[in-house]
Amino acid sequence: MSKFSIIETGGKQYRVSEGDLITIEKLDGDFKTGDKIVFENVLLTDDGSVTNIGTPFLSGAKVSGELVEQGLSKKVTVIRYKSKTRYFKKKGHRQHFMKVKITSLA
């Protein structure tokens, strides 16, 4: 059984193991490809025999990763429409993202 952790970032929770590549929402700050990113909000750790659950976070637990890529995701089209009133609004949105490779669970 492999080690894994559950982290929280951007209002979402992710199950991660070493070597995983995750796509998360862009973090505040100026990051470049290859920078180290540390996730402090660890909710759960499991090493195959012992499971630690935080209330809500585990103190002293960290997950480290390396920034692989950042960019914009595909465009999402938002349309508001009301029939019989000639009301039509069309908007596009592209969400910023970061791809992070998990390097260590501590």
Q: pLDDT per residue over 5-56, tens digit each? A: 999 999 999 999 999 999 999 999 999 999 999 999 999 999 989 999 999 9
H-run or E-run covering 68: strand 63-72
**HSE of 93, CA atoms in CB hemisphere, 13 A:** 8
**Model confidence, pTM:** 0.83
Domain boundaries, the chain: 4-105
> In the predicted model, is pLDDT for residue 2 greater than 90?
no
**Collapsed DSSP state (helix, strand, coil) of residue 26:** coil
Q: pLDDT per residue over 49-77, tens digit each? A: 999 999 999 999 999 999 999 999 999 99
What confidence score (pLDDT) does residue 1 get? Answer: 54
